[in-house]
Structure 1
Amino acid sequence: MSITTNTNANIFTVSRLNAEVRMLLENEMGIVWLVGELSNFSAPVSGHWYFSLKDARAQVKCAMFKGNNRRVTFKPNNGNQVLVKARLSLYEPRGDYQLIIESMQPEGDGRLQQMFDELKMKLAGEGLFAQHLKKPLPDNPKRIGIVTSKTGAALYDILDVLKRRDPSLPVVIYPTMVQGEEAAYKIAQAIGRANSRNECDILIVGRGGGSLEDLWCFNHEIVVRTIAASQIPVVSAVGHEIDVTIADFVADVRAPTPSAAAELVSRDNSHKAHTLLAKQRDLLAAWRHYSHQQKSRLSQLQFSLEKQHPRYQLDKQSQRLDELQIRLSRAIHAHLQRLQVQLHRTEQSLGFYSPTKTIERHQDRLHTYQARLIQAIHRTLRDQQYKLALQAEKLDTVSPLSTLKRGYSITRDSKGAVLTSRQQLQSGDTIITRFSDGEVASVIV
C-alpha cells in the first residue's frame, strides 16, 4: 500500500520541514539577548559577518549582515566576550539552527546597558514614570534633605550653592554610600529614613559624575522603587548633564547636576526660571519616555516587516552565496591539486616515452643483441670448426692420398682414366703412375 503526500498532510518534505521550523523559531522566540565568546569569525567580501558564539559547554552559529554590523563600534576578534541582540532562525539549505545578530557590543558595558533597558521598560510598563504621579516641589521649602556621600564633591557643591543663594535655608544630610555593591540598599535606607523622620520638604538624591558602572546603584530597582514610594518630593541629581539613570525618570524632578539641583530647590530671583527648567526637564523626561515607547513599537514593526521584506530573502540568499563561494574556492583548489598531480604523472610518462629515451633504450637493446650475435657467431664458428675437423679426419681416413702413403699407387692412361686391369693395356700405351710423392710416366712394351 503506497502513501503519498497528497493523501497524508502530516508527511513533510525536507524543504517544508525546514521552512516550518524557521517560521516557528522566528515567530515564537522573537528577540533574545545573548552573552558569549566569539570564535570562527569570518568576514567575506560580501560585507556580512559569520561566526560562532560559545561558552564552556556549547556553541551556536551566527550571521550578522552588513546592514547591522556597520553600527558596531569596535573591531570583533576571536576570543572577545560580547553581548548580542539577536533573533533565532534556521538556515534552510543546511537545516542549521542559527542566530541573526542585530546588534553587538562588548560584554561589560553591554550587559549593564541591557539591564538598564530591561528595567526601564519594566518600570515604564508599570506606570512608575507617569507624569500624573510626579509630586510638585513646594514653592517655599522650609528644609532641604540631601541623600549623598558625606565626603563626596557633590555634597560640597550643593552646600556652596545653597549658601550663596539662600543661607538661611536649613539642610539635613542623610549620608550614604553612593558606589559599590551595597550602595543601592544604603541609598534606599537613607531615603526611607528621611521619609520616616519627615523633617524635610524636598529630598535631593544624587552624587557626582562617573562611569555607567559607578552610577549603577541609581539604576537599581530598590532605589527606583524607594524614590517612587517617597512621600517627600525627590530631585534626582546624579552625575553630569549627559548622565542618565532610571532614578531620573522616576524622580519628581531631574536636575542635570548636583549644583543645578541646589539652585532648583533654593529661593532666588531666578526661581521662576528654575521652575521653567523643572518643567522643561519634566517635558524632556516625558518625551524620552514617549520616544522609548515609539522606538519599541518601531522595533516590533521593523521586525515584522523584515520577515516580509525582500532584504530578508536577499540576506539569506547572500549567506547561501557566501557558502557556495567558499565551497567553489575549495573545489577549485582541490581540482588544481588533482591537475598538478596528473600533470606530474604525464610529465613522467612523456619523459619515459620521449624519442631520446626511446633511442637510448633501443641502443641498449641493440648493444645487447650485438653482444649476443657475436657470442652466437663465435659459438657457431667453433662448432663448425669442430665439425670440419671431424669431417677432415674422416676424409683423410678414406682419402686416396692416405692410401698412397701406405705404399699403394694409382695408374691412369693417357686420358686420365684409372686402370684397374692389365687387360686394359696394350703395347705402346703410355701410362701415368701416381705415388704419394709424385707421378711417373711409363710406356708399355
Structure 2
Amino acid sequence: MTQQLTFNLMPTRKTWTVSELTGKIRDLLAKNFTDINVQGEVSNRREAQSGHIYFTLKDDRSQVRCVYFKQQQRGIKFRPEDGLQVTARGSISVYEQRGEYQIYVEKIELVGQGALQLAFEQLKKRLEDEGLFDAAHKKALPLLPSRIGIITSPKGAAVRDVVRILARRFPNVHLTVYPVRVQGEGSAEEIVKALKFFNAKKMVDVLILARGGGSMEDLWSFNEEIVAHAIFASEIPVISGVGHETDFTIADFVADVRASTPSAAAELVVQTRREFDKHIADLRETLAGQIRYRLLEFSRRVHELSARRGFRRPLDLLRQQRQRADEMTSRLALGLRARLEQSRKRFTAAHLRIASFDFRMKIAAFRLRLEKHTTELGVRAERFLRAKRERWQRLTVQLQERGPLKVLERGYAIATDAAGNLLRDAAQVAFGDTVAIQLHRGRLTTEVRKKETT
C-alpha cells in the first residue's frame, strides 16, 4: 500500500471578531497617537447635561469626532462654538460601541489673534445672562469710609498712587493692603483669596481692586470667572480700578463701581468725603438762611402786633382770653360728660347683653345686688340702733328727772324699816324700832322715840 503525503501550501487565516478587531485598532491608535495637536473647524457642537462637550473637528476634506470632558474644561478661557478655528490637543482612541475613532480633548485653543477677545465676549455674555452685571445687585459706596482695603501688587505703581492720594486727601483713613500677583498663573486664585479674606474678617468698609495698564493677556486675571463670582459674592462694596481708560475687564462689569484707573478709584473714595463736606456746607447755609428768614418773619409779626389795638390793651385782651378759656373749658366738660354718659350707657347695655349669655356675669350681678342689700341692711340697722339708743338716752334722762334720787336733791328723804320696807305711814313702826333714812348724799340709821300722826 502506497502512503500518500499531503502538503497544505495555503497560509492559515486568522478570523477576527468585531470586538477583537476594534480593540486591536484601539490599542494601535492609543500607542501611536497619545499626545497630538489637530487643527480644524468646530461643527455639530453639543453639550450634554453632564457638562461634557461633543463636537466634530473638520477641514475641507475630512472630519473627526471629539469629546471634551467636563473635568478637562477647568481653566478654559472660551467655550467651543460652531465655526471656530481651533487647535485641539489630546489623544486618539476608539469608541467601541460605534467603532468610531475620536479625539479625547485635553486642551483647546483658538487659532488667530482674536482668541482672547472671543473668550472675553463669551464669558461676558454668559455672566450677563446669569445676572452678575445687574444694577440691582450693585452696592452703594459708604459715605465716610474709615477703613479701606486695597487688593493689588505691592511692587506696582498702582498701589503707590492709591496710597498717596488717600493719605493726602483722607489723612485719618486706615489702609489695609493685601498683596497679590496681578498677572500670571495662580494670580486669579490669589485675588479670590484676598476678597474672601476681607469679607470674612469684616475689617474694611470698601475694597479697591487695582492694577496698572497692560495688554489683554496681562489683564486676564481680572477676566477669570472665579474672580467675577468672588466680586459678586462680596458683601463689601468693590471698586474696580484695573488698567487704563480704554481697558475693560470682566471685573469692571461685576464690581459695584468701575474706575478708569487705580488713581481714579482712590478719587472715587475721596469724592464721597468731598460730597459729605459739601453736603454739610450746604446744610449749614440752608439752616442759616432759614434762621434769617424766621427772624425777619418774627420781627415783622411783632411790628404788626404792636400796631394793633388789642396789643395796646393787654389786660382786656387777657380777660377776653380767660373768659374764652372758661367757655371752652365748660364746653369741653359738658362734651366729656355727655361722652362719658354715652359710653357708660353703651357699656351698661353691652354688660347686660353679655350678662344674659354668661352665667358668671349673672352671679357677679347677684353678688353686686347682695352686697348692695347688705350695705343697705347695715345702714338701716345702724339707723335703727341709733334711733333706739337716742330713745334710750331720752328715757334715761326722764327717769333721772323723775326718779327718787332727783327728789332727794330737793331735801326729801326715804325711810325704810329694818326689813327694808318703805315707810309711808308712822303706824308702820313702833317705839324703839330702827329706821334707815336715805338722803341725797349718805344714809342715816335712827331709833323711833316719838311718833306723830297727822
What is the TM-score when the length of structure 2 is the normalising length? 0.38
Higher relative CO (CA 8 A, sep ≥ 6), structure 1 or 2? Answer: 1
